[in-house]
């Protein structure tokens, strides 16, 4: 039997199993062809969508801020609130505890995002204010209490067999520093807010920082304590020879409204207790500093020396000088120079959060941003600060 005849005979005797196998193989081949065709179509569709998105993004308006696409959710939500008043993102936003911790207020007040608030705080710290050398504490209450032990404990000498006499017990006083509301009300036109190239966050931070810094600096020096911090110059001042707690002691220059030589500076330094002098600083304004820096000692050496490194304060008799423009000018009976350990003598208490209320109705077509912060300040140790009075007595 030839080979051709055998092949023909086999083809005629194909079993049902072989036929099923052949059918399934053909079906799988067709499915794979269909799958390959679908894959190619989807790839083409994705390429078209990619080209469309690139074209759309290029033609779109730029983001609210340079970090809008990659920034944190709270920054995007806050930017949307400032521009259009859309608070949906803020309502469902949860801030981490390590950031500014404050709940969202139902009256429309919202916490400034941590980066913006940090910008404001750094500007306040760099401003020439008593804040730079005072004791600054963060509180979560309406006031801050400072406990002071300024009385002396009694003592006595006892013999070996004699009775030990009872001595006086020191007394503790409490100084309460209430927190007051500091506010700023910058505004911008709605058209300016709609211009997405405008950096809303930097503008808002700069305006609020400038307002808060100037208001705080003035209050810490001469505030009357009525809806504002109590300035250290607002407390009664008495001659240092008869000084008592509750007053600030002063020494005189020996001339009415002027210096009678540099000796008054030396007297002021040594009127302060030795325990405070190690961390003491001078506080004066620029005009007073311009007069004092001309003083020389008996050997012709200037009492004033400029900082040896960038950012280091100038020094007077070896002590740093803070230039606070809210200090009074040299005049008759003026307390134009202060010297003391302000980290012990003056305490600034503040809440760490800052609130911003967006008001698009009160000043149309402008949008008002009502920012508030609560801060207080007062003298916490009356023995730690001494004043120089430009008078003869």
**Does residue 340 fall inside a structural domain?**
yes
Closest CA to 380 of 339, 349, 337: 349
Residue 103 and residue 175 in one domain: yes
Task: Give the pTM.
Answer: 0.68
Lowest mean pLDDT among 86-95, 314-323, 384-393: 86-95
Which pLDDT score is estimated for 21?
75
Residue 192 and residue 242 in one domain: no
**Does residue 13 fall inside a structural domain?**
no
**Does residue 57 fall inside a structural domain?**
no
Residue 97 and residue 217 in one domain: yes
Residue 184 and residue 247 in one domain: no
Residue 206 and residue 238 in one domain: no
Over the stretch 39-51, which tens digit does the pLDDT of each residue have?
Answer: 888 888 888 887 7
Residue 213 and residue 267 in one domain: no
Q: For residues 164-177, give the mean pLDDT.
A: 75
**Does residue 9 fall inside a structural domain?**
no
CATH number at residue 288: 3.30.2320
**Does residue 16 fall inside a structural domain?**
no
Residue 200 and residue 129 in one domain: yes
Over the stretch 111-166, which tens digit does the pLDDT of each residue have?
Answer: 555 666 666 666 676 567 899 999 999 998 888 888 877 666 666 677 767 677 77
- What's the number of domains the chain is made of? 2
Closest CA to 324 of 352, 350, 346: 346
Per-residue pLDDT band at 8 (split at 50, 70, 90): very low
Residue 122 and residue 264 in one domain: no
Residue 314 and residue 250 in one domain: yes
CATH number at residue 94: 3.30.2400
**Does residue 198 fall inside a structural domain?**
yes
Lowest mean pLDDT among 53-62, 122-131, 239-248: 53-62
Lowest mean pLDDT among 3-17, 248-262, 290-304: 3-17
Residue 220 and residue 240 in one domain: no
Instruction: Using only the alpha carbons of the chain, give its radius of gyration.
Output: 38
Backbone angles phi, psi at 176, to 5 degrees: -100, 125
Residue 354 and residue 214 in one domain: yes
Range of the domain at 218: 73-150+171-226+350-378
pLDDT at residue 71 is higher than 60: no
**Does residue 208 fall inside a structural domain?**
yes
Residue 218 and residue 118 in one domain: yes
**Does residue 247 fall inside a structural domain?**
yes
């Amino acid at each position: 039997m030839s080979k051709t005849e055998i092949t023909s005979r086999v083809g005629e005797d194909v079993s049902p199993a072989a036929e099923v196998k052949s059918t399934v193989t053909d079906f799988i081949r067709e499915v794979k062809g269909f799958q390959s065709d679908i894959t190619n179509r989807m790839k083409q569709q994705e390429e078209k969508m990619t080209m469309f998105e690139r074209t759309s993004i290029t033609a779109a308006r730029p983001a609210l801020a340079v970090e809008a696409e990659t920034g944190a959710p709270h920054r995007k939500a806050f930017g949307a609130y400032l521009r259009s008043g859309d608070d949906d993102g803020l309502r469902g936003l949860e801030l981490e505890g390590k950031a500014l911790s404050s709940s969202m207020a139902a009256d429309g007040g919202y916490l400034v995002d941590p980066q913006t608030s940090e910008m404001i705080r750094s500007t306040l710290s760099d401003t020439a204010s008593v804040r730079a050398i005072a004791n600054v504490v963060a509180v979560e209450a309406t006031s801050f209490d400072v406990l002071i032990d300024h009385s002396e404990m009694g003592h006595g000498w006892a013999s070996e067999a004699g009775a030990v006499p009872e001595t006086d017990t020191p007394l503790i006083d409490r100084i309460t520093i209430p927190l007051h509301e500091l506010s700023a009300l910058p505004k911008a036109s709605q058209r300016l807010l709609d211009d997405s190239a405008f950096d809303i966050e930097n503008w808002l931070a700069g305006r609020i920082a400038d307002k808060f810094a100037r208001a705080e600096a003035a209050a810490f020096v001469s505030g009357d304590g009525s809806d504002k911090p109590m300035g250290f110059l607002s407390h009664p001042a008495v001659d240092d020879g008869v000084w008592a707690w509750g007053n600030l002691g002063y020494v005189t220059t020996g001339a009415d409204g002027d210096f009678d030589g540099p000796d008054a500076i030396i007297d002021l330094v040594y009127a302060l207790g030795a325990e405070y002098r190690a961390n003491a600083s001078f506080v004066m304004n620029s005009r007073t500093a311009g007069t004092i820096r001309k003083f020389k000692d008996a050997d012709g050496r200037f009492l004033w020396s400029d900082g040896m490194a960038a950012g280091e304060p100038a020094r007077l008799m070896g002590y740093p000088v803070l230039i606070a423009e809210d200090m009074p000018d040299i005049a008759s009976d003026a307390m134009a120079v202060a010297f003391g350990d302000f980290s012990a003598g003056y305490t600034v208490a503040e809440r760490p959060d800052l609130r911003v209320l967006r008001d698009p109705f009160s000043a149309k077509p402008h949008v008002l941003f009502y920012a508030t912060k609560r801060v207080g300040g007062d003298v916490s140790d009356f023995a730690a600060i001494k004043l120089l009075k430009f008078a003869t007595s």
